[in-house]
Structure 1
Amino acid sequence: MSDVITIDVGLVEDERQLHELLGRELDFPSFYGRNWDAFWDAVTGLVEIPSHLRFIGWARLLENVPRGAAMLASQLDRYRREYRPDLRVEFDGPASSDT
């Protein structure tokens, strides 16, 4: 897996689409449950997360899917704290937890 993954979240209109995009871009298994508990399970045990994630279209995601944006940022912050202090996450706009 590449060291940097760029994910364009600017066209996402709901959490279902956000989970589909994350599953595709992060190579989650086909049985991924498309919810935040399943996201946590995937990143902590099913796939290898690259050392650098870059999200573009973040401001649009905050407008269109504020809960999903907040949950994604929160989950990635938790993952970094608990498993990967070297993880770099970039948002191209304001985020509740810019890292």
Structure 2
Amino acid sequence: MTHILLDISRVVAPADLHIILKRKLDFPDVYGMNWNAFWDAITRMVKLPKKITISGWDVLEERLPKEADSLNELLKDYSVRYTNEIFTV
């Protein structure tokens, strides 16, 4: 998988966002639906695609600003720590 689209424009609760992340990024059934589990999944369980396009980001920031901040920070941290991989969001 080299590119995926995450449409988060209909997210109204943190669980909605985690369900989308789980499905689109092929997280295992044991995914804990929280930010610690997200980090574990992207660093130990799955290989992220080279490019992730997120649509509806402005909606997420408005409805769930803490979730938007968490996702943003974790993806930034991933791109800094795993510099040997080509990765863009």
Tell me the TM-score normalized by structure 2: 0.94
Query: Structure 1 segments of 4 or more deviating over 6 A?
Result: none
- Structure 2 spans left out of the alignment, 5+ residues: none
- Structure 1 spans left out of the alignment, 5+ residues: 90-99
Could you give the per-residue CA deviations for residues 31-64 of structure 1, whole angstroms, max 9, x where no partner exists? 1000000000000010010010000011111111
The alpha-carbon deviation at position 83 of structure 1 amounts to 1.1
Q: Distance in 2 between matches of 1:9 and 1:27?
A: 16
Question: Which residue number in structure 1 is paired with residue 64 of structure 2?
Answer: 65
User: Are 1:27 and 2:34 counterparts?
Assistant: no
Q: Distance in 2 between matches of 1:68 and 1:44?
A: 19
- Alignment coverage as a number of residue pairs: 88
Q: Distance in 1 between matches of 2:35 and 2:10?
A: 20
Higher helix share: 2
Q: Distance in 2 between matches of 1:46 and 1:4?
A: 18
